[in-house]
Amino acid sequence: MSFAKTLTEAGLPAVATTIEKAQKYLLSKQYPEGYWWAELEANVTLTAEYVMLHTILGTAANRPLHKVERYLLKQQCQHGGWELFWGDGGELSTTVEAYFALKLLGVSTDRPEMKAARDFILARGGVTKTRIFTKLHLALFGTYDWKGIPTLPAWIMLLPSWSPFTIYEMASWARSSTVPLLLVCDKKPVWSFPNGNIDELYVGGRDKADLSLPSGDTTIGKLFVYLDKVLKICEQKGFVPGRAKALETAERWVIEHQETSGDWAGIIPGMLNSLLGLFTIGYSSDNPIIVKGLKSIDDFGIETDEEFHIQPCVSPVWDTALTAIALCDSGLPANHPALVKAGEWLISKLILRSGDWAIKNKTGKPGGWAFEFYNEYYPDVDDTAVVIMALEKMQLPDEQKKREVMDLSTRWVLSMQCKRGGWAAFDIDNDLDLLNQIPYGDLKAMIDPNTADLTGRVLEMLGHTRYKTDPAVINRAINFLKKEQELEGCWFGRWGVNYIYGTSIVVNGLVAMGIDNREAYVMRATQWLNSVQNEDGGWGETCNSYVDRKLMGQGTSTPSQTAWSLLGLIAGGEGRSECARRGIEYLVSKQNPDGSWPEEEFTGTGFPGHFYINYHFYRNHFPLTALGRYFHHA
């Protein structure tokens, strides 16, 4: 009997139809190689920086920069600014970078769009109020003074492993972006181009610009600003210990960390900065390393007949594993040809070499997955756990090989447990929060600490695969989660927006490990989910909940966040509740005729408070997973 027929006979025909349409839609999106892959939509800054990079390197020829112009202008909002995430009302640094890129592309400052952008920027304090990375990009063109950029001393590359700080205390994304910037900040280059000036964006004029570094209200922040002044004086006097050796070490590190595909760390900031760093120290734009790197950035682009823009990253492993789980949980046979192709493709992407994670993890053996097509230095715990769960649900021709791969990768995940009991994304014990206080770290994303959502994911994986694990490992993880629970009963979501995401994953993890869903702390979580349901039956949460706790669980309903809430309620024993029923009705009513769901909101998180992502498949596979699991509990 088919899954859809079973649903119909159970009195759930609308759910059956919705599931069938969603399955057909996702199956139609599978690539011939076996993977799924959809766009990661972010703000316009990375596309603006793409324009800046090619302007500096002189490599704009044969690249669709005229389409970038159309894209940037189309993304501008009526208020004149550009948004950090959909519906946020516009953001200063994003708008400054978009304005500058348009100016480099030759757009006249007399155009109404540019005037509106100037008004938006000046009303919010102008260039001097932007983030450090925006100022750094402007400094490359001489339109912001290097005196206002935090010092990045190259000698940090020479610090011994026993030092309280090395580059491996930075998160992988910060490390891959910062090491090449050591090469840039040592030279402090300035490239001049027509239209490469935005003095009109300084409130009160550039000659009166306040170049002081933000110190915040903390004593340690003020101390770091004072230290930066000392470092600047040392630079001016030529006192930079080990400079030549440090720069050589940084250069070698950048070259060694380039993937065979040309990528660096699988993220655009690391790729852009690596190319800038190498170009700064004399690598020509036709050097094979540069050429390969530029092509890898082009491969992150999305081009249509009219527009072109850059994604921050690509997500085929992530998309494939989550889509496979959705198809399995909604009744597709475990040996369906689409799932077999997906499973075999996933196994082919297993990373069997050591990466940066091995610097601090001395016991783990390689065996993880990365987010992207190529990123061998940086497999991550979240992707690996999700792939293991997807493989568990599939039936592949070579089941023995599958089990061996799952065993190897599970042991790698277990080796990544942090001292506090939880799991982080890319490293263990990467929690030197002091780094978020340095002037350079104004995005507060310098570290990769263990988090509730990742810990919940690992527990869910261990529970579903029934992997025999040392009870002490599980107890440490559960105790970590108990300590991380918010007073309201929810959990923080580091990698998805926000408390809805974190709460859903943690509840699923706890219950998968055998925790009774009637335990008081689990019930507090499901009660919280019930309490934040919207009147339309869905759930939603704004990205602003990262900066204002009063907004936790509040926002316009979205398919992805509704699905997360339902998954939390179902795991928590509330699958037959009125709230769950209304949530299911919301998903059924919002489905598009082609089987997809609409979602403009950004529900993925890069850096809380500073960078968000709209995963274009989140709106489709998570609702399908929720609908499938609902049937099993209805």
What residue segments make up the domains of the chain, in order of their start? 45-310
**Selection from 23, 9, 8 nearest residue 329 by Cα:** 23
Q: Is 580 helix (H, G, I), strand (E, B) or coil?
A: helix
Residue 633 has pLDDT above 90, yes or no: no
What residues contact residue 516 under an 8 Å CB cut-off, 6+ apart?
522
How many whole angstroms separate alpha carbon 275 and alpha carbon 152?
18
- pLDDT (average), residues 71-86: 97
Amino acid letter, residue 297: I
Distance, C-alpha 340 to centroid of its chain: 28
How many whole angstroms separate alpha carbon 52 and alpha carbon 60?
10
- Neighbouring CB atoms inside 10 A of 512's CB total 19
pLDDT score of 632: 81
How many whole angstroms separate alpha carbon 600 and alpha carbon 145?
38
Domain covering 45-310 in this structure, CATH number: 1.50.10.20
Q: Which of 54-63, 435-444, 485-494 has the weakest average pLDDT? A: 435-444
Residue 214's pLDDT band (boundaries 50, 70, 90)? Answer: confident
How many whole angstroms separate alpha carbon 627 and alpha carbon 634?
10
How many whole angstroms separate alpha carbon 207 and alpha carbon 589?
58
pLDDT score of 295: 96
What confidence tens digit (pLDDT) does each residue in 24-74 have?
999 999 999 999 999 999 999 999 999 999 999 999 998 999 999 999 999
Residue 10 has pLDDT above 70, yes or no: no
**Selection from 82, 84, 118 nearest residue 103 by Cα:** 118
Q: Which of these is catalytic: 382, 429, 431, 448?
A: 382
Residue 216 has pLDDT above 90, yes or no: no
Which letter does DSSP use for residue 142 in this model? T
Vertex 19: Cα angle to 629 and 630 (nearest 5): 20
Residue 398's pLDDT band (boundaries 50, 70, 90)? Answer: very high
What residues contact residue 568 under an 8 Å CB cut-off, 6+ apart?
500, 503, 504, 505, 507, 508, 525, 526, 529
Q: Name the pTM for this structure.
A: 0.95
Average pLDDT over all residues of the chain: 95
Which letter does DSSP use for residue 212 in this model? P
CB 232 within 8 A of CB 145: no
Active-site annotation holds for 382: yes
Residue 217 has pLDDT above 80, yes or no: no
* CA distances to 495, 539, 589 from 553, in Å: 15, 8, 22
- Neighbouring CB atoms inside 10 A of 446's CB total 24
How many whole angstroms separate alpha carbon 257 and alpha carbon 252?
9
The HSE-up count of residue 223 (CA atoms within 13 Å, CB side) is 6
CB 583 within 8 A of CB 533: yes
How many whole angstroms separate alpha carbon 74 and alpha carbon 47?
13
